[in-house]
Amino acid sequence: MRFEDITAGGEYLDSDNLEKLRVVADYMFLAGIPFHIAWIPRFFDPQNGIDNDISKDYSMPNANFLFTMEYLLNRNGIISLHGYTHQYCDEVGAIGTEFNEGRNNDEKSIRRVEAAINTAKRLDLPVKFFETPHYAATAFQQSIFEEYFNIIYEPFVGIWGERIVKSPRNYRTLYIPTPLGYVEGKYGINKMIDRINNLDETTLASLFYHPYIDFEYITLKSGVNRYPISNYLENSPLHQIVKALYYKGCNFTKITDLNLGSKKAEFKELFYSFFNLHKYFKLR
């Protein structure tokens, strides 16, 4: 499972929303579910004059965002680079298309991914894989990304299947598709549940989710000495997805443990995650 479009802009620069994102991470951690974070390192909104690189712009909101990223890491989160800006020209970050056949399509422009990598290094955030915004990359762009990443969380161009693909170019980089797609807002949850219920044994149960959808299901309060207290409703879309995957018999694992040449290590992680999830729901 991948949490999509996490960036220091829009709803994710709001203090309460960042606290709610940490609540979501707590839920995943207590359920024993590793999750993946599609992080956009630099947030652009040219029309409003916003260019936010948290490795260079020191502010309390940015510090809170960085703290939240580190918090997610400590809750079994795995961080990726979701492009560099996830936009092009005057487009807004997390909405625009950064790479395709007509955008950043020469080798020098494609290597802007190095700026994203360097931003992560300055912040001491370990990034484990890459994902092109909107899965719009060409085969040539993907071939350049392979020089930097062993895992790319998107379909391999030319093989739009439901299984993991090892690159035939370098025989190393794994391409992980998302056959289940994503939830199109809270009202799209029934379609996701139907897709999960209709999964067959050969389909990879991989999906991505925008965690802000769950924010309205989380209430924040202050307890003794202003200690934060939260209430997270169990009918939230994310809760429903996790329960549906659990009852379908699916297992959760880290993308970094998906080694096609090491099934023993993969099985060990799957068993551990399944055991924790079973224990969590039993306690509930």
Tell me the pLDDT of the chain (284 aa) as tens digits: 999 999 999 999 999 999 999 999 999 999 999 999 999 999 999 999 999 999 999 999 999 999 999 999 999 999 999 999 999 999 999 999 999 999 999 999 999 999 999 999 999 999 999 999 999 999 999 999 999 999 999 999 988 777 899 999 999 999 999 999 999 988 899 999 999 999 988 889 999 999 999 999 999 998 777 778 999 999 999 999 999 999 999 989 999 998 665 443 333 333 333 444 444 444 34
Q: What long-range pairs does 275-284 form, CB within 8 A, spacing at least 24?
A: 275/32, 276/31, 276/32, 276/33, 277/31, 277/32, 277/33, 277/242, 277/246, 277/252, 278/246, 279/32, 280/30, 280/31, 280/32, 281/31, 281/243, 281/246, 284/234
Residue 270, number of CB atoms within 10 A of its CB: 16
Whether 108 and 74 have beta carbons less than 8 Å apart is answered as no
User: Helix, strand or coil for residue 93?
Assistant: coil
Residue 96 sits in a domain whose CATH number is 3.20.20.370
- Whole-number pLDDT of residue 117: 98
pLDDT at residue 69, rounded to an integer? 98
Q: Write out the H or E segment, with its range, that includes residue 5.
A: strand 2-7
Nearest CA-CA partner of 133 in 105, 98, 104, 106 = 98
The count of domains in the chain is 1
- Tell me which H or E stretch contains 220: strand 218-222
Percent composition of the chain: helix, strand, coil (DSSP 3-state, to 5): 40, 20, 40
Residues 6+ apart with CB under 8 A from 168: none
CA distances (Å), 91 to each of 85, 88, 135, in order?
10, 5, 17
Domain that holds residue 179: 2-283
pLDDT reported for residue 203: 87
> What per-residue confidence (pLDDT) applies to 161?
77
- Residue 235, helix vs strand vs coil: coil
> Structure tokens of 174?
């794994």
* pLDDT on residue 281: 42
Nearest residue to 151 via CA among 124, 132, 125: 132
Residues 70 and 126 sit within 8 Å (Cβ to Cβ): no
Q: Give the model confidence (pLDDT) of 160-186 as tens digits.
A: 777 899 999 999 999 999 999 999 988
**Burial (CB count <10 Å: 0-12, 13-18, 19+), residue 264:** exposed
| 44 three-class SS | strand
Give 109's Cβ-side CA count (13 Å radius). Answer: 14
Which of 257, 260, 283, 282 has its CA nearest to residue 270? 257
Q: What is the pTM of this model?
A: 0.89
At 72 the pLDDT is 98
Q: What angle do CA 225, 226, 230 make, to 5 degrees?
A: 130
**pLDDT at residue 276 in the model:** 42
Structure tokens, 179: 């056959």
Give the percent of the chain with pLDDT over 90: 82
Check residue 263 and give its pLDDT.
41
